[in-house]
Amino acid sequence: MRKKRVLVLMHADLVPPDDIAGQPEAEVLEYKTEYDVVTGLRELGHDVEPLGLIDDLGPLRRAAQRFKPHIVFNLLEEFRSEPMLDQNVVSYLELVGVPYTGCNPRGLMIARDKALSKKILHYHRIRVPRFSVVPAGRRIKRKPAQLQYPLIVKSQVEEASFGIAEASLVNSDEKLAERIEFMHSKVGTNLILEQYVDGRELYMGVMGNIRLQVLPVWELELRRLRSDAPRIATRSVKWDPKFQKRRGVKIGPAKGLPEGVEEQLVKTTKRLYRVLQLSGYARVDFRLDADNRPYFLEANPNPDIGYGEEFAEAAEASGIDYNALLNRILSIGLRRRG
């Protein structure tokens, strides 16, 4: 790819330094993805300018006028502390005619709403767990009649396992009411009550707009959990390095999948990617039940693409190294049409 002017968009608190030597490890982990992307793009010869946003689009407008980027590399995950508002920032880029990487605003809106995406996919006969929505602030004394325990209680819109802990898996009306009250007080969003699917947790990376490339199947393994601990991707499982080491958390190539499962996952991933109107790149999460049937859990547009994270590792397993992955994402963004 020829040299491009790339404006890398991120949260203002995550703008990385040019050099991380000597920086505390905990601090580096906060902006690792932003640092990896900015550094990787510069190594590729692109003219790169990081830009942090919080609650004002003025800096983006001024940077677009001054820097005149060929493309915006979008790493922004929220605006005004609201995850659902990032789609409006992307809509602004469309309005002013600036190309961008990652998902379009329609796909962001649909995929971020876990209930809406499941309703759409169920209509299209893609297997999803049974679920119910509890509006913010509403208390319930018993589970909905159509659901059976165990259930997982999670935010309808938050990402990155925010608010998910061992206590999220409930087995009684009493524990359900307690968890709903806790989540409303701590998270404050609508909640989704989802039928727990006991089985392997599988991740499918996918890139493209019309022509899609699905990456190898990746799996979350929890090797040293307590015998009574639920096998779910809690906040600690996803983001706590000490917990991951202590409990043997590993994310890597899925091994020993039953015959035909990988082909079914690839086909289903492509189909739902189009149904949910996704573009750019995404990670789709599935659970494989005892009968080897994949259940859709959620779609994650613009997933973490830090070096060494599951999306980048799956891409490398398919022959795309990290810098080539960044160029591929740029190319897909430049080719996208509204």
Determine, yes or no, domain membership for 118: no
Q: Choose the final residue of a domain: 100, 119, 140.
A: 100
Q: Are residues 11 and 84 in the same domain?
A: yes
For residue 320, what are the domain limits? 198-335
Q: Are residues 183 and 150 in the same domain?
A: yes
Interval 199-253: pLDDT, tens: 999 999 999 999 999 999 999 988 777 767 777 877 777 767 777 777 778 889 9
Geometric angle at alpha carbon 296, from 189 and 30, rounded to 5°? 55
Distance CA 84, CA 82 (A): 6
Model pLDDT, residue 272: 98
Determine, yes or no, domain membership for 108: no
Query: Given the structure tokens 């909640």, which residue do they identify?
Result: 191
List % helix, strand, coil for the chain (3-state, nearest 5).
40, 20, 40
Q: Are residues 79 and 180 in the same domain?
A: no
Q: Choose the final residue of a domain: 57, 84, 100.
A: 100
Residue closest to 283 by CA, chosen among 207, 204, 208: 204
In SS3 terms, 100-151 reads as ECCCCHHHHHHHHCHHHHHHHHHHCCCCCCCEEEECCCCCCCCCCCCCCCCE
Interval 48-106: pLDDT, tens: 999 999 999 999 999 999 999 999 999 999 999 888 899 999 999 999 999 999 999 99
We report the CATH number of the domain holding residue 54 as 3.40.50.20
Q: Are residues 233 and 163 in the same domain?
A: no
Q: Are residues 187 and 213 in the same domain?
A: no
Determine, yes or no, domain membership for 142: yes
We report the CATH number of the domain holding residue 279 as 3.30.470.20
The predicted model scores a pTM of 0.92
Q: Choose the final residue of a domain: 169, 195, 221.
A: 195
Q: Are residues 245 and 284 in the same domain?
A: yes
Q: Are residues 191 and 204 in the same domain?
A: no
Determine, yes or no, domain membership for 76: yes
